[in-house]
Structure 1
Amino acid sequence: MVDELLKHRTQLARPDVSTDEAQAVLAQHYGLSGDLAELGSQQDRNFRVDADEGRFVLKVTRVEYARVEIEAQNAALRHVGAKPGAPKVPEVVPSLGGEDIVSAAVREETYHVRLLTYLEGSPLTRRRHLGAESVAALGDVAGQLAAALKDFDHPGLERELQWDLRRAGPVALHLLSAMADVDLRKRIAEAMIGAMRKVQPLMPELRLQAVHQDVTDDNVVSRVDSGGRLIPDGVIDFGDVLKGWVVADLAVTCASLLHHAGGDPFTILPAVKAFHAAYPLTDAELTALWPLIVARACVLVASSAHQLEVDPENAYAASNAAHEREIFDVAVSVPNELMEHAIRKAVARERQPAPSEMHGRLLPDLNAASVGIVDLSVLGPHLPADRWHYEDTEALLLQSAARAAGAAATRYGEYRLTETRLLQASAPRTFALHVDLCLHGQTAVHAPFAGRLHQGGGKLILSGEGLHLHLYGVEADDPAEGTLEPGARIGLVPGEPSALRFLRVQLCTVLDMDPPAFAAPHQAEAWGRLCPSPETILGFGCDAPLPDAAALLQRRHRHYARPQKNYYRMPPQIERGWKEHLFDLEGRAYLDMVNNVTLVGHGHSRLSAAVGRQWSLLNTNSRFHYAAVAEFSERLAALAPEGLDTVFLVNSGSEANDLALRLAWAASGARNVVSLLEAYHGWTVASDAVSTSIADNPQALTTRPDWVHPVVSPNTYRGPFRGEGSTGDYVDAVSRKLRELDEKGGKLAGFISEPVYGNAGGIPLPPGYLEAVYALVRARGGVCIADEVQVGYGRLGHYFWGFEQQGVVPDIITVAKGMGNGHPLGAVITRRTIADALEEEGYFFSSAGGSPVSSVVGLTVLDILHDEALTENARSVGDYLKGRLEALVERFPLAGAVHGMGLYLGVEFVRDRETLEPATEETAAICDRLLDLGVIMQPTGDHLNVLKIKPPLCLARESADFFADTLGRVLEEGW
C-alpha cells in the first residue's frame, strides 16, 4: 500500500513562486541579479538565471520534501563530480551565508532553495528521432552514472517517492483511482499488474544502491557531434535520487526513449547494450528490465493525469502528457517474452530455448516427398516479375504447385517479397512465422503432441507443455474443448477430396498469445524464438535459408579490390528491382533516387524479353555483320544535331570520354586539353587525367599531367563569381588560361565539360558560358567535347541533351550509363572528319560496345523512352519534385539551395547560408537516415554536401512525394 506521506506528496502542486519573486530570493540569498526564465518541472519550480557572473539554475522545492533529502541530492552531485570518467553534473553554489540550502519565505510559504551551476548542452527531448549513436550514448551515461553512485550513501536516500519503481504498483493504482478515462485506467491497471507479477519473484535478487532514477531525455545535456547528432555527456536534476534498484535506473532511461522510437520498442537496445558494458547487469535484472519499463510507463501516464488534476496550469506536465502516452502505448505493444529475448541477445546473455516434446506428425497421411515448396522470397523463381505485389499471388502459386505435386507449402522463416510494401518509411513485416499449405479436402489432421484443444479467434489451438499449435482451416471432429494424446485426430481439412483448400500452421511458446503471421526483419530472430518452425511436425523440409548480408560483405571485401567501394558502411543486400524501387533480401523496398544508370527503371519486362531473345540468337563482337549495330548507330546519329553523324560504340562512360580525348588529339594534332575543376569524367588514364573532383580523387589537384589545364569551376552557387551575371567572369578565367597556353606556344586539342555540372549536384552553367568558351576553343583549332554521360539522354526533361540548354552544338558528344539501362554500353557521336582522323592511328573496336546484345539493349531503351514518354515524365515529375524540395529550403536553414532540372537535381546542405560552409558530415548522416526510412540516396560534390538526385526516369509523382516527405521528416526530426 502507499503510505500517507507518499499519498500527500502526490497531491502537491508546484511551489507558487513567480519570476519576480524568484529574482528577489536570488538577490537576497545569493547576491545575484539577471534574467530569469522558468524551466519545466513536475513538482518543483526551476529557473534559469542569466547573470553577469554566469548561468545558474535556481531550484525551489516544497518543504514537504525533508531537508535531508535535498542534502542527499547535493552530496550526490559532489560525489559524482569528483569521480574520474563520470558524466558531467552541475555544481552546488553556496549562498551568501555559505549554505548549500536556504529557507526562503514567499507569500507566507516557506521553501527549500538551492542554486546550481547551469550545465550547457542540448536536451534530447526536442529531437523526435534519436539515432543509434545517441541512444547508445544515453545508455552509456546512465551506466557510468550508476557505476559512479555505487559507493555513495546518505541518510536522505531513504525516502518515499512516487518514482521509486519498487513501489510502482501501489503508486500507479493510487494515482489511477481518480482517473476520468475509464478505458485508459483499465489498460494501465492491467499492464501494471502483469508487469509486477513478473518482477515480484525477482525482487530479492535485484541490487540496491544509490540511483539517479531519472536519467531521461529531459535530464541529460548533449554535445553535437560532427554529423549533427546529439551525444549525451552530462546529467542534470538529481531530484529523484534515492536508494533503489540498479535495473530500475536503466528502465527509466529506456522508457524515456520510447517516444523517440517511431513505435518500435527495439529502439532501446543500443542503450541497454551500452549500459551493460559500463555497469554489467545480472541475470535477474535482465529478466526484470522490460516489466519495469512497462511499470515506469504506467506510472508516467497515471502521474501526468493526476498532476494535471492537481495543478491544471502545469504546462510542463501538459506538454509531457502526449509523449508519455506514446511511451505507454509502445511499452504494451509487444509481449514481455519478446523483449526479454531481444534484451538478452543485445548483451549476449541469451537463454537456450527449452526442448519441445513433439512425438508425431500433424499430417500423417500426407506423402512428404510429394509436397511442392513454393519460394516466395526476393529471388523466388515462382514470382512473376510483374505480379509479385498482387494480393492473390501467394494463393495462386500455392494452388498451381498443389495441382502439379498433390500438395504444396510455403516456407517458414522466409522473407517474402509478396509481403513487402512500396513507399513505406518502416520495414514491413516480411518474415514468415508460419507455414501455409494447399491440400486436398478431407486430409486428416492429428495432434503432434499431447495438449488441450480449444477454439479462439477463428482457429483451433492445441496447448501443450510450453508449446501451442495454432491451426487455421481445420474442421474439428469434436467442437467441444478437450485433452488429446499424441497422434489423436484433431479433425479434417474441409471440402471434397478433389477440391484444394488452405491450411495455416503456426507454433507459439507463449500461452494465450495470438502470434502475428509475420515479423519485421529486425525483430525476426526474437519472434522466431516465440514462434518456432513447424518443420518437425510437418515431416518435410520447409525452413528457408537465412540471408547473411554481413557475411557476404566480408566475402566481397576478401577478394574484391579495395578501391571498388560500396555504398553505405552497412549496406543492405540488394538483389532485385522494379521500376524506381529496389528490394533487399529481407523484402524491404527502397525508393531508388540515385540510380541514373537504370534510366527506364529496374526489372523492365520489355527490356528483359528483348535481351533474352537476342542472347538466344547471337552475341558476338561488332566486327561481324548484323542488323542491330547498323540500326542502333543510325538511331543515335538521328538524335544528335545535324552534322554529328558518326558513332563509336563502347562499354562505358569512361571509355567514351577516353575515346573523345583521343579523337580531339587526332583531329587537332595537339595534346593540351582544358577541363573544369570539380569535374569527373571517368577512370581510364585519359578520362581520369581531366577529372579534378577531389571527392573522387583527393590527390586530383596535384597529380594532373602537364597536358591538362583545369580552369575555375563555373559554379554559380558557391564559386568565386555567383549568380547568372557571372558568365563574363568565368569566361575570362578560361580566356586567361588559353592566353597562358598561347604564350608558351602550346597548341590546344580541345575542351571537355559537362553541359550541366552533374558532379557538383546538377548546377546549370551560367547563361552563354559554353557559347563563349566554345568560340575561344575553336578559334585555336580545338575540339569541344560535351560529356553527356550523366545529364543527357532525356534526363533533364526540358532537353534531350544537356548542351541544348546552353544553345550550343559540340563537336563530340559522349554518352553512357542510362543508354544501356545498366548494361555496359556507351557511345561517342561526332563528325565524320573527326572520326576519320583516328583511323590514321589505326582501327578501333570494342568487343561488347556494339555487340548484338548491346545494340538491342540500346534500341530497346530508346523505344521505351519514346513509348512511355519518359523524357516528358522527367520534366513534369522533375519540376514538381524540384518545387517540393525548394519548399524545404524555405523551412530548413541547413538546406541551402536546390540545383538542376528534370530528374537531375541536387539539394546542397550548408551550415551557414552566408559563408556556405559545407555540411559534409550532416549530409552523410542524412543519407544514412534516409536509408533507414526506405530511400537510397548518396552525397556528391567536392565537399560531399549535395544530395545526388537522379532516379530512373519512370519515377512516379507519388514516389517524388515520398522522397520529399521523407527528406522533410529527416530535417524535422533529426538523424
Structure 2
Amino acid sequence: MLLTTLIHRASLPCPKIGPTPALQLLEQHYDLTGALQSLGSQQDLNYRVDSDRGRFVLKICRGDYAAVELQAQHAALKHLQGQPGVRVPKVMRALNGEELLTVTVDGQTVHLRLLDYIDGQPLTHLPHLGREVLAGFGRLCGQMNLALANFTHPGLERTLQWDPRHANELIHYLLSTLENLPHRALIEQMATQAEQRVRPLSERLPRQAVHMDITDDNVVWQRDEQRHWQIRGVIDFGDLVHTWRIADLSVTCAALLHHAEGDPFAILPAIQAYHAVNPLQPEELQVLWPLIVARAVVLVLSSEQQQRLDPASPYLLKNAEHEWEIFHVATSVPFELMEAAIQACVGGSLPAIASDGFAPLLPGLVGREFALIDLGVLSPHFEAGNWEQAGIDQQLLQDAAAAHGLAASRYGQYRLSRTRADSFEEPETFPLHVELRVPQGTTVEAPFAGTLRTEADGALSLHSAQLSVRLWGVKGVLQPGAAVLKGQVLGEAGGALTVQLCRTDVTPPLFCTPSRALAWQALCPSPAALLGLACDAEPELDPKALLARRDASFARSQKHYYIDPPRIERGWRNHLIDMQGRSYLDMLNNVAVLGHGHPRMAAVAARQWSLLNTNSRFHYAAIAEFSERLLALAPSSMDRVFLVNSGTEANDLAIRLAWAYSGGRDMLSVLEAYHGWSVAADAVSTSIADNPQALSSRPDWVHPVTAPNTYRGEFRGPDSTPDYVRSVEHNLAKIAAQNRPLAGFICEPVYGNAGGISLPRGYLQQVYGLVRAQGGVCIADEVQVGYGRMGHFFWGFEEQGVVPDIITMAKGMGNGQPLGAVITRREIAEALEAEGYFFSSSGGSPVSCRIGMAVLDVMEEEKLWENAQVVGGHFKARLEALVERHPLVGAVHGSGFYLGLELIRNHETLEPATEETTLLCDRLRELGIFMQPTGDYLNILKIKPPMVTSRLSVDFFVDMLSKVLEEEL
C-alpha cells in the first residue's frame, strides 16, 4: 500500500486549468476578479491574483489528495498565526463560508483554496546567498520546528513522496522506471550509502509536524534600508507531514546547495543558526548529511519523471537545472567529511584517537632531534616572494636535513607557498600530513596491525578497522593485501618521507582549504604520536579575540576596514596575505606604490638604521640628496623643500606658509574635500564622509566653494567651468567686502575624494588667477593623486596646465614609511622663518630620506609611471565597459592607477547606491579583493592600487566586480 501510494502520487501531473477558467472559479466562488500570474509548481497549480481587494494566491491541487491533508495545512496556518519569528498566509473563506472547496473543471476533480499573498520575493534566482541569509534560512527552520512541536492533526499522517522515511522505496521505484537516466551509477551509489547511514539511527530520531519545504522557493524576503535581506514570511504548506524533525532542516539545506557555488560547506551557517535556536540531538547531526544527499537524489529523480510527464513545462525545465546542481554539490565530497563538518560547526567533535597504543613508525629515530622547519606565513625563510618558487618547501627541508641530519614540517601549519594570487577560490594551504627528511635505510614499522595496500597515487597504506596510515617514500618489503602485525617491518625510507594518519577509509587530500581544515583535522589528525615528534603547528591567535584586544586598548576612532577583518601580517607586490595563506588583491592601498615587501625598501631601511637615524638638525648627506631629487621633479620656479611625516603635516604646514606669506588668515577650500586631521588641515576639510559635522563646524576663516564635480555637482559637464568659478568669485568678494586679507586656496588638482574626477577645463587657471590677484597663494594638495599615480601626468596640476605656489605630497613617497613633503618658492619658505623656526623631529630623517630616494629609483627602474599609464589605461577601458552592462554603474572617473567607479540607482537622478556599494565591497573581500567606498555618499569605489599592479590583476578585479554586480546587490 505504501509503495502504491508513493508511485501514484509521484506520477501526478499538475492540473490543467488555464487563466480563463481559473478566473471563472474566482468570480463564482469568491466574488473576486483581477489579473492572474502563474507562480509555478511541480504538482499544484498556483496563481497570484491581483485584485482591487488586494493580492491573493489561488491554489488548485488534484482531487487525489484527501481533504483532511489540506485541512491539516489550514490548521497549521492558524496555529502559527502570531508565533514569534514566523509569518504565514491566512486562509480566505469562499462565498459559502468554507475554506476548502472541491470542484470539477473540464472533468478534473480539484481542491480549491484562496490565501492572502505575502509581499516579498523568493531568492531562488540569486546565484549567491550571503552568510546572514543562509543563517536566516536555518534560524527560520528552527523557529518553525519549535512552533510546530506541539501541533497535531489527523491529516499529518500521510504518505508523501518527499518524506525521507520513504526515500529508499521511492528511489528504487523511480530508478526502475526511468530509462537513459544521467549519472545512474552515481545516483544508485549515493542513495545506497545514504540509506545505510540513516537506517541504524532512524528509530532514535525525534518526530513531529514539519513544513518539509522551507526552501528558497517558499521563503519570501524583502530588503531593509541597508539593503540587507529580511524574511517576510513562509508560504506553501503543501508538504506538511509528521516525520523526523531533522527532515525539515535537510530539505532546507539541500535547497541552499543550489546557491553554494560548488561548496557544500556553504550550508554550515544554516545548521549553526538552527542549532542555536533549536538544539539538535547527536543522532540528528549524524543523519543530517545523508538525508541531504537522499533529498538531492529524490529531487533529480522526481524532476526527471515530471519532465517526462510534462516535457513542455518551463517551470520544470528551470527547476531541473537547480536540482541537478544540488545533486552534484551534494555528491562532491565524502559523507565522512560533511558529517565531521556538521559536528564541528555546532561545537561537537569526533572521539579522540587513543595514541598510547601505537608502536613507533620510525623506531630507529626515537629520541633523535628533528629540525622543525617553519613554512608558515611569517617564516623567516621566506622573503622577496621566494615562496613562489616551485618546490621551495621541499628545498628548505632538504637544506635543513643537510645541516642538522633530520628535518620535518609541521602538521597544520598554513603554508605560504600554496597561496594563490588573483584567485577567488580559497587556497589549499592547510597540510594534513608531515613531511620528513630521514637518512637512507631508515626502517619503517607498522604502528598498528592491519592490511597493506598500494594506492593509485603511489602511497603505501596500512588499514585497520578504525585507522589508516598513508606513507609516501617507503620502499615496501611486503605484498599488497598482506596482513601486518603491529611493529612488523613495512620497508625502508630514505630522503623524503610523507606521513598521513586517517581515521576512516576515505582518500584525503594532502592539503585542504582553511574553511575545511576543522573537518579534515577530525578525519586526518596529526601523526605526531606515530612519529614520537612534537610537530604540530602552534595554535593560531583567534583573529576576533585579537580584534577585541585592539578595540580594548586602541582608541576606536581609529577605524579598521571591515566588521570582521582577516588578520594581515605579510604582503607581496600588489597582494596582502592573511595568516591562513590567502592572498587578497590590494586595490585600495595608495601608500605602497612599489607594492608590499619590496626587497629594496627592506635593504635600504636596514642599512640606514644600522648606520644612523636622527633628526634633520644634524648634518648628513641624505637630506640634501633627497631634497634635490624632489626639486628636480617640481616646476622650475620652485626651489625649497620641507620634509615632514604625513599628508596631514604637509597640508598643515602649507596653510601656515600661506598665512605667513600673505599676512592673511582666510582660506578658500573646496566642498567634499579631505586634507587631514590636524586643526588647520581639518578646518579646510569638508568631507562629510570623514566628518559628519564638517559643514556645520568650519571656523569663520574657512570659506568652502562649490565642489567642481562635473558628474553629480550643482553644474555638470565639461563646460561648467564658469558656473563653478562664480562660486569662487562670490567667496572672494565676500572676504574683500569684510576687508579681510586672503591667505590662499587649497584644492586637490584632481578631485580625489570623489574618486579622481577631473576638474572642469580651465578651472584652476581661472581660480589661481583670481586668488593671486587678491594676494593669496595657491596650494596643490597632491597627497593622493600626485607622484605619477595618474600615469599621463606626474603631478595632478599638470592636467590643468597650471603651476601652484605650494605643492604638498605624502602617501606613496615612502612606500609606507612616514614621509611627506612641501615644495614651494624661496620667498614663501622664508616668510615662515620670520615667525619662528620649523622643526619636525623625524621629518627628513636619514632613514626617511634614503627610503624616499629608493622609491624614486625603483619607480624609474621598474617603469612604474609607464605601468600606470599603460595598465591603468586598460583598467579604465575595462571599467567603462561595465557602464553599459550593469545598471548600477554610473561612471568611471580618473586615470592611471587613480580611478573611481561611481555606483548609482538611477541614471537620471544619480541617486547614490550607498548600501549597494558597501555590500559590493564586502562581497569582493569574500572573493579575494580589498576595496572600500569613498565620497560623501560612500558610493564610489576609490581604486588606487600599488603601481606594480599587472594587467592580470586588473582583469581579475574587473571580472570579479562584474560577477558581484550580476548577483543583484
| Residue 526 of structure 1 pairs with residue 514 of structure 2 | no
- Aligned to 2:142, what secondary structure does the other structure show? helix
How is 1:178-577 mapped onto 2 (pairs within 5 angstroms)? 178-181=177-180, 184-366=183-365, 369-457=368-456, 458-493=458-493, 501-510=495-504, 512-548=505-541, 549-577=543-571
Tell me by how many angstroms 1:182 deviates.
5.5
Tell me by how many angstroms 1:952 deviates.
0.5
Task: Output the amino acid matched with 1:536.
Answer: A
- Aligned to 1:443, what secondary structure does the other structure show? strand
Corresponding residue pairs, total: 967
1:42·1:314 contact (CA, 8 Å) conserved in 2?
Answer: no
Given candidates 581, 585, 593, the residue that maps to 1:591 is 585
Given candidates 875, 885, 891, the residue that maps to 2:879 is 885
2:156·2:209 contact (CA, 8 Å) conserved in 1?
Answer: yes
Given candidates 601, 604, 616, the residue that maps to 1:622 is 616
1:86·1:148 contact (CA, 8 Å) conserved in 2?
Answer: no
Residue of structure 1 in register with 2:929 after alignment:
935
Task: Output the amino acid matched with 2:303.
Answer: S
Task: Output the amino acid matched with 1:223.
Answer: Q
1:179·1:185 contact (CA, 8 Å) conserved in 2?
Answer: no
Q: Which range is displaced more, 67-76 or 750-759?
A: 67-76
- Aligned to 1:882, what secondary structure does the other structure show? helix
1:362·1:448 contact (CA, 8 Å) conserved in 2?
Answer: yes
Question: Are residues 599 and 86 of structure 1, via their aligned partners in 2, closer, same or farther at CA, if it must alter by over 3 Å?
Answer: closer
Cα deviation, 1:563-606, whole Å, max 9, x if unaligned, reads 22111111111111111111001000000000000011111223
Identical-residue share of aligned pairs (%): 57
Tell me by how many angstroms 1:258 deviates.
0.7
- Aligned to 1:222, what secondary structure does the other structure show? strand
Residue of structure 1 in register with 2:849 after alignment:
855
Cα deviation, 1:732-754, whole Å, max 9, x if unaligned, reads 11111111111111111111111
TM-score, structure 1 normalization: 0.97
Residue of structure 2 in register with 1:741 after alignment:
735
For 1:595 and 1:524, locate their aligned partners in 2 and report how far apart those are by CA, in whole Å: 31
- Aligned to 1:221, what secondary structure does the other structure show? strand
Given candidates 853, 872, 879, the residue that maps to 2:866 is 872
For 2:285 and 2:672, locate their aligned partners in 1 and report how far apart those are by CA, in whole Å: 54
Residue of structure 2 in register with 1:112 after alignment:
111
1:88·1:235 contact (CA, 8 Å) conserved in 2?
Answer: yes
- Aligned to 1:724, what secondary structure does the other structure show? coil
Tell me by how many angstroms 1:659 deviates.
0.9
Q: Which range is displaced more, 196-205 or 21-30?
A: 21-30
For 1:701 and 1:354, locate their aligned partners in 2 and report how far apart those are by CA, in whole Å: 65
Given candidates 652, 668, 671, the residue that maps to 1:658 is 652
Given candidates 945, 948, 966, the residue that maps to 1:954 is 948
For 1:225 and 1:174, locate their aligned partners in 2 and report how far apart those are by CA, in whole Å: 46
1:509·1:531 contact (CA, 8 Å) conserved in 2?
Answer: yes
Cα deviation, 1:42-80, whole Å, max 9, x if unaligned, reads 111211222222222222211122222222222222222
Task: Output the amino acid matched with 1:118.
Answer: Y
Task: Output the amino acid matched with 1:527.
Answer: W
For 1:754 and 1:546, locate their aligned partners in 2 and report how far apart those are by CA, in whole Å: 47
2:787·2:812 contact (CA, 8 Å) conserved in 1?
Answer: yes
2:119·2:232 contact (CA, 8 Å) conserved in 1?
Answer: no
1:227·1:924 contact (CA, 8 Å) conserved in 2?
Answer: no
For 2:953 and 2:783, locate their aligned partners in 1 and report how far apart those are by CA, in whole Å: 25
Residue of structure 2 in register with 1:173 after alignment:
172
Q: Which range is displaced more, 862-871 or 931-940?
A: 862-871
Question: Are residues 572 and 432 of structure 1, via their aligned partners in 2, closer, same or farther at CA, if it must alter by over 3 Å?
Answer: same
1:229·1:974 contact (CA, 8 Å) conserved in 2?
Answer: no
1:128·1:974 contact (CA, 8 Å) conserved in 2?
Answer: no
2:411·2:431 contact (CA, 8 Å) conserved in 1?
Answer: yes
- Aligned to 1:725, what secondary structure does the other structure show? coil
Question: Are residues 367 and 849 of structure 1, via their aligned partners in 2, closer, same or farther at CA, if it must alter by over 3 Å?
Answer: farther
- Aligned to 1:49, what secondary structure does the other structure show? strand
Residue of structure 2 in register with 1:497 after alignment:
none
| Residue 721 of structure 1 pairs with residue 715 of structure 2 | yes
Tell me by how many angstroms 1:684 deviates.
1.6
| Residue 635 of structure 1 pairs with residue 609 of structure 2 | no
- Aligned to 1:805, what secondary structure does the other structure show? helix
For 1:845 and 1:364, locate their aligned partners in 2 and report how far apart those are by CA, in whole Å: 69
RMSD over aligned Cα atoms: 1.8
Tell me by how many angstroms 1:357 deviates.
4.5
| Residue 799 of structure 1 pairs with residue 802 of structure 2 | no
For 2:488 and 2:610, locate their aligned partners in 1 and report how far apart those are by CA, in whole Å: 56
For 1:506 and 1:689, locate their aligned partners in 2 and report how far apart those are by CA, in whole Å: 63
Q: Which range is displaced more, 119-128 or 136-145?
A: 136-145
Tell me by how many angstroms 1:931 deviates.
0.6
2:142·2:277 contact (CA, 8 Å) conserved in 1?
Answer: yes
Question: Are residues 222 and 183 of structure 1, via their aligned partners in 2, closer, same or farther at CA, if it must alter by over 3 Å?
Answer: closer
Tell me by how many angstroms 1:389 deviates.
1.4
Tell me by how many angstroms 1:369 deviates.
4.3
Residue of structure 2 in register with 1:148 after alignment:
147
Residue of structure 2 in register with 1:498 after alignment:
none
- Aligned to 1:716, what secondary structure does the other structure show? coil
1:374·1:397 contact (CA, 8 Å) conserved in 2?
Answer: yes
1:130·1:974 contact (CA, 8 Å) conserved in 2?
Answer: no
Residue of structure 1 in register with 2:641 after alignment:
647
Residue of structure 1 in register with 2:693 after alignment:
699
Task: Output the amino acid matched with 2:932.
Answer: Q
Q: Which range is displaced more, 514-523 or 229-238?
A: 229-238
For 1:639 and 1:434, locate their aligned partners in 2 and report how far apart those are by CA, in whole Å: 55
Given candidates 600, 611, 626, the residue that maps to 2:605 is 611
1:139·1:250 contact (CA, 8 Å) conserved in 2?
Answer: yes
Q: Which runs of 5+ in 2 are unaligned?
A: none
For 1:199 and 1:9, locate their aligned partners in 2 and report how far apart those are by CA, in whole Å: 24
Cα deviation, 1:590-647, whole Å, max 9, x if unaligned, reads 0000000001111122332233333333322222223222221111111111201211
Tell me by how many angstroms 1:897 deviates.
2.0
1:369·1:540 contact (CA, 8 Å) conserved in 2?
Answer: no
1:454·1:461 contact (CA, 8 Å) conserved in 2?
Answer: yes
Given candidates 771, 782, 804, the residue that maps to 1:777 is 771
Residue of structure 2 in register with 1:810 after alignment:
804
1:716·1:765 contact (CA, 8 Å) conserved in 2?
Answer: yes
1:610·1:856 contact (CA, 8 Å) conserved in 2?
Answer: yes
Given candidates 804, 819, 822, the residue that maps to 2:816 is 822
Task: Output the amino acid matched with 2:962.
Answer: G
Cα deviation, 1:241-265, whole Å, max 9, x if unaligned, reads 1111111001100111111112222
Given candidates 879, 885, 904, the residue that maps to 1:910 is 904
Cα deviation, 1:502-521, whole Å, max 9, x if unaligned, reads 111001111x2111111211
2:360·2:366 contact (CA, 8 Å) conserved in 1?
Answer: no
Task: Output the amino acid matched with 2:526.
Answer: S
Question: Are residues 183 and 509 of structure 1, via their aligned partners in 2, closer, same or farther at CA, if it must alter by over 3 Å?
Answer: farther
Task: Output the amino acid matched with 2:872.
Answer: G
For 1:904 and 1:895, locate their aligned partners in 2 and report how far apart those are by CA, in whole Å: 17
For 2:319 and 2:710, locate their aligned partners in 1 and report how far apart those are by CA, in whole Å: 47
For 1:73 and 1:882, locate their aligned partners in 2 and report how far apart those are by CA, in whole Å: 57
Task: Output the amino acid matched with 2:513.
Answer: A
Tell me by how many angstroms 1:158 deviates.
1.4
Tell me by how many angstroms 1:770 deviates.
1.2
Given candidates 743, 761, 770, the residue that maps to 1:767 is 761
Task: Output the amino acid matched with 1:543.
Answer: D
For 2:385 and 2:908, locate their aligned partners in 1 and report how far apart those are by CA, in whole Å: 50
Q: Which runs of 5+ in 1 are unaligned?
A: 495-500
- Aligned to 1:3, what secondary structure does the other structure show? helix
Question: Are residues 86 and 543 of structure 1, via their aligned partners in 2, closer, same or farther at CA, if it must alter by over 3 Å?
Answer: closer
Residue of structure 1 in register with 2:675 after alignment:
681
For 2:44 and 2:290, locate their aligned partners in 1 and report how far apart those are by CA, in whole Å: 29
Tell me by how many angstroms 1:419 deviates.
0.9
Tell me by how many angstroms 1:387 deviates.
1.9
Tell me by how many angstroms 1:368 deviates.
5.2
